[in-house]
Amino acid sequence: MPTTDTDKVLPPYLSYKTFATFIEGLKVGMPARIDRSVMKTLSGANQSWLMGALRYLKLISDDGIPTDRLRQLANSEGADRQKRLQEVARSAYAFLFRDGFHLQTVTPRQLDEAFGNAGPRGDTIRRCVTFFVALAKDAGLPLSPHIQKATRASRATPRRRRINGTPAQGTDIQEQPTKTDAAKPLTELLLDKFPAFDPAWPDEVKTKWFTAFGDLMERTKQKR
């Protein structure tokens, strides 16, 4: 996904749960326009990624106006919802439904190559694939057992990609604890688990972060 709303739109690579939760929230009422002001609970990065996902999936126009497809999806349930999701997937990911490409028999590498040809690069390809596989399962689309096996294996071996020794931002996977954790002071262990501050957060979220951080510091002082 792009980091700004005007960049080239790539296949979605945000958390599918974030996308599905947002769509579910539209049941209470469809706004006249989808923009960042209706995503205040999300970080700035996730807001951009979600906007890009909605555009790529043809659920909003370039100006953020909800399409009929989005209205139908938001108000659907059960088998009707699966049908709507299938329509979304087949339209947006047309390159995966072309003649000669079969999701029922495709290998993980073939799927990676197909997404690579669609624009993403590096680790973004894996995240695009992860989003699509989750969407396909939600839509009831048949997938190759090789893809499902690879997805389960990825979940069973959590890791965090690092850049110059620092965990990369935007990754949903968790880092396994190391043997040296036991030797760390309590304060350092707690800070390792505390979410990093994001200047792009809304003011309300920033305030809650500072409050929680202050409370954490006070508690660690009491335990010394």
Q: Which residue has the higher pLDDT, 180 or 63?
A: 63
Q: How many CB atoms lie within 10 A of CB 32?
A: 8
Q: Which pLDDT does position 171 carry in this prediction?
A: 42
**Model confidence pLDDT, tens digit, residues 18-42:** 999 999 999 999 999 999 999 999 9
Burial profile 144-166: b = 16 or more Cβ within 10 angstroms, e = fewer: beebeebbeebeeeeeeeeeeee
Tokens of 199: 């200047």
Q: How far is CA 131 from CA 140, 151, 180, 186, in A?
A: 14, 11, 34, 36
**Model confidence pLDDT, tens digit, residues 39-66:** 999 999 999 999 999 999 999 999 999 9
Q: Which pLDDT does position 188 carry in this prediction?
A: 54
Q: Which pLDDT does position 62 carry in this prediction?
A: 94
Task: Work out the percent of the chain whose per-residue pLDDT is above 70.
Answer: 66
Q: Which pLDDT does position 174 carry in this prediction?
A: 38
In this predicted structure, the answer to whether residue 172 has a pLDDT above a threshold of 60 is no
**Model confidence pLDDT, tens digit, residues 135-156:** 999 999 999 998 876 665 555 5
**Model confidence pLDDT, tens digit, residues 115-138:** 999 999 999 999 999 999 999 999
Q: Which pLDDT does position 199 carry in this prediction?
A: 58
Q: Which residue has the tokens 């205040």?
A: 40
Q: Which pLDDT does position 176 carry in this prediction?
A: 42
Q: What global pTM score does this model have? A: 0.66
Would you place residue 100 in the very low, low, confident or very high pLDDT band (cuts 50, 70, 90)? Answer: confident
- Give the largest CA-CA distance in the chain: 66
Q: Which residue has the higher pLDDT, 100 or 58?
A: 58
Q: Which residue has the higher pLDDT, 200 or 51?
A: 51
